[in-house]
Amino acid sequence: MDIIIRENYKLMSKYAAEIIAGYVRSKPDCVLGLATGSTPIGTYQELVRMHREEGLDFSQVKTFNLDEYLGAGIDLEKPYPMDQSYARFMHEELLKNINIKKENIHIPDGRTKDPKKFCIWYEEEIKKAGGIDLQLLGLGGDGHWGFNEPGSSLGSRTRVVVLTQQTLDDNYEAFYKKANIERSEMPHFAITMGIGTILEARNILMIVNGARKADMVAKCLEGPITSQITASAIQLHGGEISVVLDEGAASKL
């Protein structure tokens, strides 16, 4: 496992984007697992810059997102401003700004009528694409990956989950509140890739910033592997792992 510490958020984001760009350059039809949250925004901005200024080519890249709120999701042709779905987030922050083909984008469908069936289909699509080459991950305040809340099995697959109070609070502050959405209107359920699904990605890139996550970073990387901190499963992965941190996030290592 490579742990890379950069001075600040901007440099952390640049480093992470460079790792992703390396995959895209060396394997133009690579399969990327993507994440949401405030952490990857800088990384996505840097990838957009590389696409515009350096011609980084996403025309053959396939993407699979980790998760989506259940009940949320957009018609990408007609996004509406109140929508806080991860589909909208991905569209705004990255996908509409690069030359990726629409048919190569996969984001769990938060508006599916049959979530169970959808989750099985999603897993099959990942397999059909040949598996994920590089999975980008953030770290939830309670140590989760995707929406694999404390207590999720480390062998779990794509499924419907109930969000914990902490995640609802964190994500309300970061996204829903800013969009003037009432707390009660925020979705409480989500679809997420499981920890077992994530661990099947060939390589992993985790990015974390800010001193408020320093304790969780230390527990995740140096503490026991436990379903109470699902990101601690990173220690079980046998591929290439890069953990890119800013100084705040690394301060308890």
38: contact with ligand GLP by CB under 6 A: yes
Residue 236 contacts residue 206 (beta carbons within 8 Å): no
3-state secondary structure (DSSP) of residue 8 = coil
146: contact with ligand GLP by CB under 6 A: yes
Taking contact as CB under 6 A, which single stretch among the options 47-55, 120-128, 137-145, 238-246 is the one that binds ligand GLP?
137-145
Q: How many CB atoms lie within 10 A of CB 199?
A: 20
33: contact with ligand GLP by CB under 6 A: no
Nearest to ligand GLP of 146, 194 (CB atom): 146
Shortest separation between residue 5's beta carbon and ligand GLP, angstroms = 18
Shortest separation between residue 55's beta carbon and ligand GLP, angstroms = 29
Q: How many CB atoms lie within 10 A of CB 111?
A: 16
Candidates 93, 109, 133, 149; catalytic one: 149
SS3 content of the chain, % helix, strand, coil (to 5): 40, 15, 45
138: contact with ligand GLP by CB under 6 A: yes
The first and second tokens of residue 107, run together, are: 């984001």
Nearest to ligand GLP of 33, 51 (CB atom): 33
- Among 244, 242, 246, smallest CA distance to 23 is for 242
Q: How many CB atoms lie within 10 A of CB 78?
A: 7
Examine the residue annotation and report whether 133 is marked as an active-site residue of this protein. Answer: no
37: contact with ligand GLP by CB under 6 A: yes
Shortest separation between residue 68's beta carbon and ligand GLP, angstroms = 9
Q: In angstroms, rounded to a whole number, what is the distance separating the alpha carbons of residues 70 and 188? A: 8
Shortest separation between residue 175's beta carbon and ligand GLP, angstroms = 8
- Among 73, 95, 93, smallest CA distance to 83 is for 73
211: contact with ligand GLP by CB under 6 A: no
Of residues 52 through 91, those in contact with ligand GLP by CB under 6 A are: 66-67
Q: In angstroms, rounded to a whole number, what is the distance separating the alpha carbons of residues 59 and 125? A: 19
Shortest separation between residue 41's beta carbon and ligand GLP, angstroms = 8
Examine the residue annotation and report whether 2 is marked as an active-site residue of this protein. Answer: no
39: contact with ligand GLP by CB under 6 A: yes
108: contact with ligand GLP by CB under 6 A: no
- Among 193, 165, 143, smallest CA distance to 35 is for 193
- Among 1, 26, 6, 25, smallest CA distance to 16 is for 6
Q: What residue ranges bind ligand GLP (CB under 6 A)?
A: 35-39, 66-67, 138-140, 146-147, 167, 171, 174
User: Which residues have a catalytic role annotated?
Assistant: 67, 142, 144, 149
